[in-house]
């Protein structure tokens, strides 16, 4: 009996030791093992994403007249979806380095060190829940690449709206109406503003942000995202 107990104890210790071993890092797109020199994405997926990244843009009409140009790097493929989802919901803000580099290939010619980077804000309750604002992470990294100042408190979300991802097209359009206002815009002055978000679907969120900025006299507003999604 003592031998059986000893064997069971040793087996349990071995099992705990196995489970205590650090898990091998996996590619966030394909789920394959990563080489020691890689982080987040395997070389094959990284090459595929890089080959699909190119300057693209959409226009969204503004209530006060004119249009907002929105630049993006990727169509909303399964790979793009995985990158954005993992950064946004899986506590991987470090993926912002990968995504900001993709966006930078699109907007480098549109930005100078004088441009002002303004991330789309989260409601404070949503930010506390998630731990960070993915658009601010992207904006700060993009600003670093451009040598531009970032104004993370230029806009404030005034209502804790439903998640846009859970709504249909009409619901998205109505959900964010008058949900943003300017907060700390001193210092932006006459600079070009580059709004930053993770993905554009209907364009309603970026339109509301742009209109809030235009209402306080900031006329030269553009926007950029990682990807564009049809709905």
Nearest to 107 by CA among 69, 81, 76, 80: 69
Q: Give the HSE-up count for residue 160: Cα atoms under 13 Å, Cβ half-sphere.
A: 7
The rounded distance, in Å, linking the Cα atoms of 70 and 220 is 13
What integer pLDDT is reported at residue 33 of this predicted model? 93
154 token code pair: 């230029």
Q: Is 75 helix (H, G, I), strand (E, B) or coil?
A: strand
Residues of the chain with pLDDT > 70, as a percent, come to: 82
- Could you tell me which residue, 23 or 100, shows the higher pLDDT? 100
Supply φ then ψ for residue 119, to 5 degrees: -75, 145
β-bridge partners, 71: 57, 224
Q: How confident is the model at residue 6 (pLDDT cuts 50, 70, 90)?
A: low
The yes-or-no verdict on residue 62 having pLDDT over 50 is: yes
Comparing 50-54, 105-109, 160-164, 168-172, the range with the smallest average pLDDT is 168-172
Q: How confident is the model at residue 185 (pLDDT cuts 50, 70, 90)?
A: very high
Are 134 and 93 in contact, with CB atoms under 8 Å apart? Answer: yes
Mean residue pLDDT of the chain comes to 86
The rounded distance, in Å, linking the Cα atoms of 114 and 184 is 18
**Domains of the chain, each with CATH number or no CATH:** 55-228 (3.40.50)
DSSP state of 11: H
Q: How confident is the model at residue 7 (pLDDT cuts 50, 70, 90)?
A: very low
Q: How confident is the model at residue 4 (pLDDT cuts 50, 70, 90)?
A: very low
β-bridge partners, 200: 228
Residues of the chain with pLDDT > 90, as a percent, come to: 69
Please name the helix (run of DSSP H) or strand (run of DSSP E) that holds residue 116, with its range, or none: strand 116-119
Are 193 and 63 in contact, with CB atoms under 8 Å apart? Answer: no
Comparing 17-26, 51-60, 82-91, 174-183, the range with the smallest average pLDDT is 17-26
């Amino acid at each position: 009996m003592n031998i059986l107990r000893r064997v069971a104890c040793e087996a349990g210790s071995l099992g705990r030791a196995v489970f205590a071993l650090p898990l091998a890092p996996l590619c966030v797109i394909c789920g394959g093992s990563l080489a020691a020199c890689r982080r987040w994405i395997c070389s094959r997926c990284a090459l595929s994403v890089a080959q699909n990244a190119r300057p693209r843009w959409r226009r969204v009409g503004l209530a006060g007249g004119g249009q907002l140009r929105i630049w993006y790097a990727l169509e909303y493929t399964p790979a793009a979806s995985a990158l954005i989802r993992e950064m946004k919901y899986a506590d991987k803000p470090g993926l912002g380095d990968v995504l900001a580099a993709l966006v930078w290939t699109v907007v480098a010619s549109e930005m100078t060190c004088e441009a002002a980077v303004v991330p789309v804000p989260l409601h404070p309750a949503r930010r506390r829940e998630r731990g960070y604002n993915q658009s601010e992470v992207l904006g700060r990294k993009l600003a670093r690449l451009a040598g531009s100042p970032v104004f993370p408190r230029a806009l404030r979300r005034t209502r804790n709206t439903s998640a846009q991802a859970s709504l249909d097209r009409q619901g998205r359009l109505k959900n964010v109406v008058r949900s943003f206002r300017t907060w700390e815009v001193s210092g932006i002055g006459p600079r070009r503003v580059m709004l930053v978000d993770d993905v554009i679907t209907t364009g309603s969120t970026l339109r509301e942000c742009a209109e809030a900025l235009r209402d306080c006299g900031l006329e030269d507003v553009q926007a950029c995202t990682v990807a564009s999604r049809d709905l």
